[in-house]
Amino acid sequence: MIWDVTIATHDGAPDGTPDDISLADAIQETGATCRFAVWSDPDVDWAASAVTIVRSTWDYHLRPARWRGWIYRLDGITRLVNAPELLRWNTDKSYLLDLSRRGIGVVPTLFVADAGEADAAFASLAARGWDDVVVKPSISASAHGAARFRGRALPSARAHALALLRHSAVLVQPFQRGVLDDRERSLVLLGGRFSHAFSKAAFDAGAAGGQSAVACHESTAGERMLADRVLASLPVRPAYARVDLVPTTAGPLLMELELIEPHLALDTKAGSAAALARAALDLDS
């Protein structure tokens, strides 16, 4: 069977998440046909739809080589949304270093490529004044593998990094107190335009799997300006993006840019599912 659109999911939610279902309904309201398919299912004929929208592929970080191969294989047989070059780039959180070099205000980040760099990186923490840090794999989702170290536990950060380095490079960042005091802010942009914002608790505040209940957030002009600058720095405009920020005394800083499979809290903003459908199907160009 031929479909206009496939929404890519993972085998933990083969029929989509609430966000995915809202998107599918909005796509069908445009007159297009739509199906769900698990990205890692070898039996899916991806060429059977003109457009494939990557949404709840929440286990891609567990199989990064297979994930990259999937993007490569689909490029050219279906139109991937977001664009394949964005998906590949956003897979590894070293993109934060790219954005920092482009002048984006990013949470300070040490990139540790291998075990040989670990000693120097962790020896530099005191000189940097980092006595409370987060160590996370450079390829991860939903805070998988992320851990916070402070006080007497700080020396254990290096051992955690070495364990993670068996699978991917590692990022070390100073813990941002703002995510506890004011919560992490997520700005959702659809078709390159600001749609809505929400806040969520820090990953180590007790929520399982890095997920937490969201609350609507009235974004500030500074937050929207930073989000716009982040998207303007990209080579291709994404159909959807979630810009995760932390408030600081110096202004908001980018924590992560989510272009692959972010929760977008479409239920918190009327019309956002329709806006995402139009952006993904390129109906407004």
- Tens digits of residue pLDDT in 112-137: 998 889 989 998 998 999 999 999 99
**Arithmetic mean of pLDDT over the chain:** 92
Q: What is the pLDDT of residue 211?
A: 47
**CATH code, residues 3-91:** 3.40.50.20
**Across the beta sheet with 79-81, what order do the strands follow?**
34-38, 3-9, 49-54, 79-81
Which residues, at least 6 apart from 11, have a Cβ–Cβ distance to it below 8 Å?
38, 40, 41, 59
* pTM: predicted TM-score of the whole model, two decimal places: 0.93
Q: What is the pLDDT of residue 229?
A: 98
Please state, in angstroms and rounded to a whole number, the distance separating the CA atoms of residues 154 and 128. Answer: 14
Q: What is the pLDDT of residue 206?
A: 40
Q: DSSP per residue over 49-68, as a string?
A: EEEEEE---TTGGGSHHHHH
Please state, in angstroms and rounded to a whole number, the distance separating the CA atoms of residues 7 and 281. Answer: 12
- Tens digits of residue pLDDT in 193-226: 999 999 988 765 444 334 457 899 999 999 999 9
**Residue ranges of the chain that CATH labels 3.30.470.20:** 95-105+178-280
| Stretch 36-48: mean pLDDT | 97
- Name the percent of the chain lying above pLDDT 90: 79
How far lies 90's CA from each of 31, 63, 95, 259, in Å? 31, 15, 6, 6
CATH fold of 95-105+178-280 reads D-amino Acid Aminotransferase; Chain A, domain 1 (3.30.470)
Q: Virtual CA dihedral for 276, 282, 245, 58, nearest 10 degrees? A: 70
Q: What is the pLDDT of residue 102?
A: 96
**Reduced to 3 states, what is the DSSP secondary structure of residue 73?**
helix
**Residue ranges of the chain that CATH labels 3.40.50.20:** 3-91
CATH fold of 110-174 reads Dna Ligase; domain 1 (3.30.1490)
